[in-house]
Amino acid sequence: MSVHGTMIIGAGLLDFDSNIGGGTMGYGDWTSLPAQLQVNGNLHWFKAGPTTTPCTINVDGYSVAFYGITPPAAEANQTIQVKDSAAAGSSAFKSWTYPAPATQGPFFTSARASTPGPIEISFLGYGGLTLNYLLVEVGEFTDLSGVGNDLFVDDADEEIHWSSGWKVRNDYHLTADGAVPAFRNPFTITSYPHGNATHSSGNKGDAFTFAFSGTWIGVYGVSPGPLSSNWQLTMTFELDGSTTTSTFLASDQEGIVAPYFEYWDSTDSGVELSSGPHTLIVTIVDVSEGGEAAAQIDFIQYTPAFKTLNTKPKLDAVPVPSSSVTSAGTASISSASASGSAGTSSTSQSAGATPEVSAAARPARVPTGAIAGGVVGGVVLLACLGAAIWFCLRRARLRSARARSQISVSEPFPTSGAGTAAYSYSAGKSEAPSSSPTSGATSPESRTRQLPAEMDGLQNDVPPPSYSQHI
């Protein structure tokens, strides 16, 4: 099974024929074009007007796509001539019309070869065009070791893992006024993120993870918020346990909402990477009230530490950390430790309060010995309380039983004599009635003579009620 990947090459790294009018520019070289539209700080512009010298670019892979800003319709021709070595009949130039005037995005994509190899693209009639970068679909053994040959990872790539709060947004139509060196007058530029889609979230605690083997990494997307309000977005970028914090404000956007906004760059953050595997964890930790600001991630770009995709290390997927956001707007993050030395740093990309979230802010662990001792103590306390309650109930029942044992019941069937008989009941035992002599008692002889008559009367009388004993 073949292995594929995408390599991004900035226009500033390309070699052009010296006879081609125009030039390569970086940040600050042309202030009329907003920084976001320059893409990674560089672009190459071509002088307006007719062109006679072909602009030829060579790459290696399956196919190549060209990204840039097409000229406005009022200033330049919208149809150019292209010769594509990967297409059938590649020996001749063919007409190609830009997808739209004054638009930033892909303006030409070559045919796709059946096997990766050298591809040569030549343009004519390209006056007024601005080139930002190339995306090359590379093969398993394509050489990635050239300077500036970074790998491009779209937000839809399965190597990036997102928490459930992120949503795919695909309704972009972004505009900004700017001027490119080829023309004197500024014009409105329409731009879109890659595939016109990003992963977007304005939820505190939402995060994404990415494992890679490289020596540099950057995170890009659409700038965070609208121009109509004053908003703030704070995110943490944890790389191999070292965390930096970045706060983005509405005032940072230079008056535009555009793609290619740099959310984070390992070099700009002072992070030096070895060639080993790394783990990047990005978390939203604070969002201004109103829900207008949102992180809108479009792609990740990194410099590989391997020469070909065939030698790319197979890294385990990094689970998205579980997080709980406090009322103060900070996130408590729990995740597996990544390779690299642990440390904490904090940076702010703009003025204003910058909450810091780092490894030191994670909840402290509770000692297991303390937990075990607390559990045992609780069990002993409950056992003592249970024994005390049982003992009290037992004593109460015994007192009640003794009280009932002293109850005297009068004989319902008195004898013909003056005496009375008392029946005393005790636990499980009954005693025969005993006589209590009185002043009018008869003699034993008389009492003996009366017994037969009393027995006859008892036999003809109603039986006495039964008595039961309760303990």
CATH 2.40.50.100 describes domain 1-142: no
Six-digit token string for 27: 């940040």
How confident is residue 391, by pLDDT bands cut at 50, 70 and 90?
Answer: low
Enumerate long-range contacts of 13-20, CB under 8 Å, 24 or more apart. Answer: 13/42, 13/147, 13/148, 14/44, 14/57, 14/131, 14/134, 16/44, 16/55, 17/53, 17/54, 17/55, 17/56, 19/53, 20/46, 20/51, 20/53, 20/55
In three-state secondary structure terms, 401 is helix
pLDDT tens-digit map of 135-159: 999 999 999 988 778 999 999 999 9
pLDDT at residue 339 greater than cutoff 70: no
How confident is residue 222, by pLDDT bands cut at 50, 70 and 90?
Answer: very high
Sequence letter at residue 419: G
pLDDT tens-digit map of 119-128: 999 999 999 9
| Sequence-separated (6 or more) residues with CB below 8 Å from residue 76 | 48, 127, 128, 129, 182
* Residue 299 contacts residue 152 (beta carbons within 8 Å): yes
Neighbour tally for 261: CB within 10 Å: 22
The pTM of the full predicted model, rounded to 2 decimals, is 0.67
How confident is residue 415, by pLDDT bands cut at 50, 70 and 90?
Answer: very low
Q: What is the pLDDT, as a whole number, of residue 30?
A: 54
In terms of Cβ atoms closer than 10 Å to its own Cβ (0-12, 13-18, 19+), residue 201 is buried
pLDDT at residue 342 greater than cutoff 90: no
pLDDT at residue 334 greater than cutoff 90: no
Question: How far is it, in rounded angstroms, from Cα 423 to Cα 153?
Answer: 101
Question: How far is it, in rounded angstroms, from Cα 325 to Cα 327?
Answer: 7
- Report the range of poorest mean pLDDT among 62-76, 188-202, 354-368: 354-368
Average pLDDT, the chain: 74
* Residue 107 contacts residue 98 (beta carbons within 8 Å): yes
Going by DSSP bridges, is the β-strand pair 130-138/63-69 parallel, antiparallel, or unpaired? Answer: antiparallel
CATH number of 156-166+194-373: 2.60.120.260
* Residue 161 contacts residue 317 (beta carbons within 8 Å): yes
pLDDT at residue 219 greater than cutoff 50: yes
Q: What is the pLDDT, as a whole number, of residue 182?
A: 86
Domain spans of the chain, in order of start: 1-142, 156-166+194-373
Q: What is the pLDDT, as a whole number, of residue 288?
A: 86
Q: Do domains 1-142 and 156-166+194-373 have the same CATH topology?
A: yes
* Residue 75 contacts residue 48 (beta carbons within 8 Å): yes
How confident is residue 394, by pLDDT bands cut at 50, 70 and 90?
Answer: low
